Amino acid sequence: MKRSELLELIGEGENIHCEFKRKFSTTEKISREMIAFANTKGGFILFGVDDNKEIIGVESEKSESELIKEAALNYCEPPLEFKIEYIDMNGKEVVVVEIPESDKKPHRLQDFLSEFDINKAVVTIRVNDKSIQAGKGMVRILKAQTSDLQLKKYSIGLVEKIVFDYLTKNVTITVKTLSSLANISERRASRTLVKLVRANLLMIHIKDNGKEFFTGIV
């Protein structure tokens, strides 16, 4: 990355593709950030840049580098791909970590379980300029995308009709709302809405607090 490209990135501020860090905080926190980028559309973490876009630099690029590698390889499951660059900005060193969008979604915080457990896994994603924990619906969609699972003979039944009838009068629907309307478990309601997303009949949205809701395709 050129200095001009870094300045442009900083000028755009934090967003879905970019996060600023004054310094390496804790391995778990940085792992959550890296996982979020890998599970979404990829992006950059800039170490040595304050939230107000001020370039302050890092004290030791070697130390930061080792901690970043530790986070990506040992605290993320599966381990993440990443690229590190060091850019001198008028005597202040900025560490640029690029995390590409992964084809092994969903990545989770290392839990040392032999198999993925949706009830225990900590899976993060990027929403606007934040990294948040994904809900079960989003996790299921990430798994389906990676596995390239195809919906076979998926038909519209009574529960699906309830969803579409509700959305003719309301902008959004949630798992809890569908569970109540159709008198079914929230687990079944979640799976129904996720299948409709996979069938390109609904869209899933995530609020900054991690809450999921669904809308019709515009």
User: Region 195-204: what's the mean pLDDT?
Assistant: 87
User: Region 183-196: what's the mean pLDDT?
Assistant: 93
Question: Residue 47 above 90 pLDDT?
Answer: yes
The band of 145, judged by pLDDT with boundaries at 50, 70 and 90, is confident
User: Region 154-176: what's the mean pLDDT?
Assistant: 90
Q: Which of 38-52, 158-172, 200-214 has the lowest mean pLDDT?
A: 200-214
Tell me the Cα Rg of the chain.
20
The band of 206, judged by pLDDT with boundaries at 50, 70 and 90, is confident
The band of 154, judged by pLDDT with boundaries at 50, 70 and 90, is low
Question: How does pLDDT run across 83-129, given as a tens digit for each residue?
Answer: 999 999 999 999 999 999 999 999 999 999 999 999 999 999 998 89
* Predicted pLDDT at 201: 86
Question: Where along the chain do the CATH 1.10.10.10 domains lie?
Answer: 150-216
The domain at 150-216 falls in which architecture?
Answer: Orthogonal Bundle (1.10)
User: Region 186-195: what's the mean pLDDT?
Assistant: 92
Question: Residue 146 above 80 pLDDT?
Answer: no
How many other C-beta atoms can be found within 10 angstroms of the C-beta atom of residue 12?
A: 11
User: Region 141-163: what's the mean pLDDT?
Assistant: 78
Please state, rounded to an integer, the average pLDDT across all residues of the chain.
Answer: 91
Percentage of residues in the chain having pLDDT higher than 70: 96
Question: Where along the chain do the CATH 3.30.950.30 domains lie?
Answer: 3-133
pTM of the full predicted structure? Answer: 0.83
Specify the higher pLDDT residue, 146 or 5: 5
Q: Could you tell me which CATH class the domain 3-133 is placed in? A: alpha beta
CA dihedral 99, 101, 106, 108 (to 10 degrees): 10
* Predicted pLDDT at 76: 97
Helix, strand, or coil here: 55? strand
Q: Which of 58-67, 164-173, 209-218 has the lowest mean pLDDT?
A: 209-218
User: 53: alpha, beta or left, given left = phi > 0 and alpha = psi -120 to 50?
Assistant: left
